[in-house]
Structure 1
Amino acid sequence: MKKIALGLTAVALSLAATTSQAGQVEVLHWWTSGGEAAAIDVLKQEMKEQGDTWKDFAVAGGGGESAMTVLKSRAIAGNPPSAAQIKGPTIQEWGDLGFLENIDDVAKAGHWDKLLPPVVSKIMKYDGHYVAVPVNVHRVNWLWANPEVFRKAGASIPTTWDQFFVAADKIKKAGYIPLAHGGQAWQDATLFEAIALSEGTDFYKAAFVDLKDDALKGPKMVDALTKFKKMRQYVDPGFSGRDWNVATSMVINGKAAMQIMGDWAKGEFTAAGKRPGVDYVCLPAPGTSGQFTFNIDSLAMFKVSGKDTQKAQRDLARLVMEPKFQEVFNLKKGSIPVRLGMPRDKFDACADSSMDAFNAASATGDLVPSMAHGMAVNSMIQGAMFDVITNFFNSDSMTPEQAADKLARSVKAASM
């Protein structure tokens, strides 16, 4: 695995464990949209009730790219935060660099090995030791739809991509935007990933987990890229640079019919007072009903000095895994609890469906990590994929075959 290109020196590493204000935990995150902000406020309040001080270090940007840039700068300067929102293989990269704190004592006291699915606990560990705490589980392959727009357009909500294109044409003809989308690299990858997933779980794993060359440039990839490029005609001209939650608001307000986005979008519907099954519909992305691409938010713990600060850091890790936080946070965030055995009575139909799908996909082998959200590959390979996917989506001349070949070559170069 390629390490994070930080240019870290031995001096910077030795400065990593800096002294912070007593009893204070500084948390770097990008939970800044309406639904996300309401969710993280739950944790802030619980920390306050513990007698700890929360120092918010929020960096806007739904995909976290800006936050990671800031984190790298802070790390190089020898002043990392107490905890940072980090996901997937990137946790291992920071572990390799020696920045992360062993929190096995908290995990053992909380029985995390019993309360977490093995696929989750493995991600939270570095060299066999817990260094991060999982916050939730998101399903990425969701379709969000405004049923009123569909009614006005005389269209049916699609369950296959062929049906999607038929419905999108009707919606566009009726004067609505078929697909709410934000032209940012991670959003392009989220849309493309959902299309690629519909080509089959085995293909998805071969291409985005095992990085097999024949899958990356093969016929199924070409087919996925062809469908992906066709989506370009169903987004509005102002999509470039749009944040994901702004795109979600277009569906909420009836300007657009659909959005392909993870279930953090539901937090926006909830914050707007909308009801699932009435004001909006949640369905698996077309062609992916039995599959589940997961994105697990987690807080990685960085090495800090001072007993009070270390206690606050461990309070944070403990509280995240407790039932109260798991319930309230996920109700607001739109995700589902990562802790097993949680009661479902307060969760809505979309969350209930997500929990069922998570359990079923775990049993069938259709539970797969999201490439678009940093769960499947390291940051170097992900960045290489993002570049090809976004360039292809916005190119007038690149063919799907050329894009597939470029994708395979870019992944190979990033893996060296």
Structure 2
Amino acid sequence: MSHMNDETTPGPGGYQPVTSTYQWQAPEPAKEKRRVGLGTALALMLAGSVASGSVVGLVVANTASTGSGEVVNSLREPSAPAPEAPGDGVEKVAADVLPSVVSIQVANRTSAGEGSGSIISSDGYVLTNHHVVSGGGNNAFIQVTLNDGRTLTADYVASDAATDIAVVKIRDASDLPVVQFGDSDELSVGQEVVAIGSPLGLSSTVTYGIVSALNRPVRASDGGGESSLIDAIQTDAAINPGNSGGPLVDMDGNIIGMNSVIASLSSGGEAGSIGLGFAIPANFAKRVADQLISTGGAAHPMLGVQVAARQDVKGALIASVEPDSPAQQAGLNPGDVVTRVDNRAIDNSDALVAAIRSQDFGQTVTLEVQQQDTGQSRQVEVTLTAE
């Protein structure tokens, strides 16, 4: 997994032209012609171009006729009028949400970075990723660029490396447009979503896709020794380095996630969208952001166990149980393997940590637990730590 940041730049690329040479041959004696429709003819032309290794450009024009043989030239015709208002769908979502999305530039004496963010209060609080603002340190110079082109100075407020969530505040701001939060617990796989941000520094970029999966435990490293673990929304909306911190919104324009991580096929420094992007659920990001603003730090519900990263165990293997923790009070023991939290299957240790973090403080959950030595299964109710 790769965090999205400005250090990733697209590699050089391009297509080398390939030409094909055809030799004229004398026509054969006339035969009855096979007739094909226009769609079939175009398909055959495309198939031929692919087979020969070249690309043939097809131009299809809207035509008009006066009926009198007079030439109609669209260059001499007036342009069609623009729509009076944005239409439905992605166009309306973009018009509604773009004013509340900013580009973020972070710099210190030795490095610079950039990302995206969502304005969450009219007086200037901006929600973004920890890895967007952490590179420059607490004393870094931070600027945000609004959708209307204004560039304003911002200050670092607080961040949580464990969940990759951060808040900055625009100085002396008032009456800013604000993004509205949706309920990420109500998301469905296949639901349409729109990602907005500044990929590769291209501000106000809008892409469209669906929710590909939910509850994906995703661990990512920023390359500086810090790692985050999020219980992510997976989407195929194209997101790239620089989209980090920008909103993933539903078709009503409500933020249901914050773009944070992309999967990459590259093992080097380059990364780009392959249709596997991951966003922090809005409900979780909202809770952490409120803590960061109120207290300067973030706490998370705890089970009170240490888990072992074991590839040969189907589930989360408990290595140790903390004294007086919710886990000890519920009767969990070292060697137990947690295979389910409520209705959610747990495949590994990261899945257990992500699932517990996403719960509410003081919530009671039901764990399905197997004893590693006997394979016997039991259900255990655990009340997580309060805030």
Q: Tell me the TM-score normalised to structure 2 length.
A: 0.24
Structure number with higher strand proportion = 2
| Structure with higher RCO (Cα < 8 A, 6+ apart) | 1
Greater helix share, 1 or 2? 1
Q: TM-score, structure 1 length as denominator?
A: 0.23
